Structure 1
């Protein structure tokens, strides 16, 4: 199943990126693509819309990584035995169970000019509101904040699971040695959370790079293409009325896949090196 649903599609995308193809077959069902080698990738290098999408994805990656420490802090808070902790867990867990489409709609209303809560708050304090999703300077950051809401909840769940597996004898031994607070977290808790951290980083990187749904729901790439990301630009080129350029869309997908593999492979290598040095 892994070969059929993962390896084979990756190979097909790599092959398709070398062709100029509109996605159609002839009457005999034969492939009609024209082999053009690396021309799609050469065009990407000078495509301003692609460069904007790539830049936005870099911003997504940088800001999305905030979900990892934020999720850890929330998980540590929710791991306490205090009154009402089940209610707190439910409230923090809620963003994870709702659809990304719903998240996009909620934040679209939150940012909406004239009646959105953020707009009204800014207008109250500064005298003039800001239409976040209509401003090229702010739109990408506004969408990322919307994406961070459920992503932090997801990371929180991973860390809560990891905290349940922390060895209590090591914690008690550290307390007897006088470790507490930051030292307890850094030297005792975090080393035991490495598996959870690995999964959290991987899913966060993947979530940042496949940020299609929120962009589609909240701005459709606007205003003026300023909020495009690679996954959305790939869709526009390959499957929308803008092009039906399947080969060009596949080339964008290959670039997206390469970026993802660089980040994930680098983190896997670091974890492997840390384990071998122990």
Structure 2
């Protein structure tokens, strides 16, 4: 039996070596997979794994992943390339219904970005990926707020990378952006990674009647990095304090494989019911997918 199969069927001992924990082993929606659209891209993100369509479809056969969100990234000032990228993953999602297109615009492209958002929304796209590090923008820039307003008008979701080595205030900027744009919905990828505790401000915001609870977080990268670490108890406490319904599964493939992400999630010590919410139920609710 393969390691992947064992990870879904085995009964583990908890850290004190006494209480058995049974893990959720049903369908999974992975909302954080980077796809390479040409040969160079398929080898640019990982030294160990390529991320071509073939690679993605291959791991879907070995793990019970029901749907995968495939991500592309827009480059500033090149709308022809942005449209090409977005159309490419939309076409793949039509060919393979298990793929969810996560398209992109660059906030600094202004009105052209808004036009592109409206165009792809008409094609059924629900999620836009924005990456402050890779796309080189500050979350507090007015152009980013303008994209958030447009996302609210179009009832779209903005998936933001939420960890920056250069901007220690980025979590606060992201939370403020979401709180001041209640008509848009936000996913903070990686749950802030090493800054995850800053997200506890969301628990405070929930006490105000004007807060719309429009923030979700995916556990891509953070689960395999911190799932079995000394930070595990703090991480799980933070997740439960914010609310398990706001968390989503993501692998961050090809940086981490889905198997590594699942292993990290299992190591965290969530209940099987909580794992089901993270892996499947919450994404179905957010994306209005019939379970």
TM-score tier (shorter): under 0.3
TM-score by length of 1: 0.26
Question: Highest relative contact order (Cα 8 Å, sep 6+), 1 or 2?
Answer: 1
Q: Higher strand share goes to which structure?
A: 2
TM-score by length of 2: 0.26
